[in-house]
Amino acid sequence: MATLRKRNGKWQVQVRRMGHKPATKSFRLRADAEAWARQVESEVERGIFVDRTFAEWSLLKDVLARYGAEVSPSKACYKTDLSRIKPFMPEGQDRRLAPGEQDLLESVLQESPGGLAAFVLALETAMRRGELARMHWEHVNFADSTLRIPYTKTGRSRVIPLSARAILILKSLPRHLSGSILNMKPDSITQVFDRACGCQSISNLRFHDLRHEAASRLFEKGLNTMEVATITGHRTLQMLQRYTHLRASDLVHKVG
């Protein structure tokens, strides 16, 4: 069954069918939304529906990056693959959230408590996707507003401060018997985020870009390099600079 609603000047349509994940997409014209809904419902009925959200909203360089990280390492020609992929993936992407994008994404992610929590916590803590997926309630200390991250990409554990909003979003989540806070796998976090971007026609934004955004916001709040590195877990200034892109307009008050 398809449902339509107008949000932020666009028609958002969602098709729900028993045994299938909801399919959602946004259009400028209602007629286009209705036509897409009919097509999806027809494909579901015939058993040929394939969710194209990821494919439609993925850039070539993002697909190649995923291939290089997940497929190439198991191949004998790993180094050759990387040398071929590198020209398509310029380093240092400085994609930050544009004004209004956070609100747009949060409005869609309301339907997924875990996805919303992952999004908010990524912005509030600069945690990596894998670190978010591995969070357990035993790692949270509400008394002093901190979170212990025992397993990191660098192999070193760290304890980070939690903002008021991070605490609020954590307390809003249900408790699972497993002890996992999000109860989501890393790939699931990405899929929920990518679908939200697709629903709001937000392009060229990866979940990992939220780490860039979070680190930049920490600097804009006035934290120094060592303080930011303590939160993000970067071991060198050079590594931290790759994830940090300050807006010049936000620094005007500092230069007088």
Catalytic: which of 10, 134, 211, 217?
211
pLDDT at 171: 96
State the pLDDT at residue 56. Answer: 53
Q: What is the pLDDT of residue 134?
A: 94
Length of the chain: 256
6 is a catalytic site residue? no
> Does the annotation mark 136 as catalytic?
no
d(CA 22, CA 109): 13
Only one residue has tokens 């390492």, namely: 73
Query: Is 208 one of the catalytic residues?
Result: yes
What per-residue confidence (pLDDT) applies to 57? 46
Q: Is 153 a catalytic residue?
A: yes
User: Which amino acid does the sequence have at 62?
Assistant: D
> How confident is the model at residue 64, as a pLDDT?
65
**Per-residue pLDDT at 219:** 87
Cα gap 68→81, rounded to integer Å? 7
What gap in Å lies between CA 75 and CA 72, rounded to an integer? 5
Nearest Cα to Cα of residue 58 among 213, 232, 198, 167: 198
Residues with Cβ within 8 Å of 223's Cβ and at least 6 positions away in sequence, in order, are 231
Catalytic one of 10, 128, 129, 212: 128
Neighbouring C-beta atoms of residue 141, cutoff 10 Å: 12
pLDDT of residue 58: 54
Q: Which residue is catalytic, options 129, 195, 212, 234?
A: 234
**Residue tagged active-site, from 139, 208, 242, 245:** 208
Residues of the chain with pLDDT under 50: 57
3-class DSSP state of 255: helix
156 is catalytic: no
Res 152: pLDDT = 75
- Positive or negative, the Cα torsion across 160, 163, 164, 165? negative
Look up 128 and say whether it is catalytic: yes
Q: What is the pTM of this model?
A: 0.62
Check: CB of residue 232 under 8 Å from CB of residue 219.
no
Alpha helix locations (H) across 27-183?
A: 30-46, 53-56, 60-70, 78-85, 101-109, 113-125, 129-133, 164-171
The answer to whether the CB of 13 falls within 8 A of the CB of 27 is: yes
If DSSP codes are grouped into helix, strand and coil, which group holds residue 157? coil
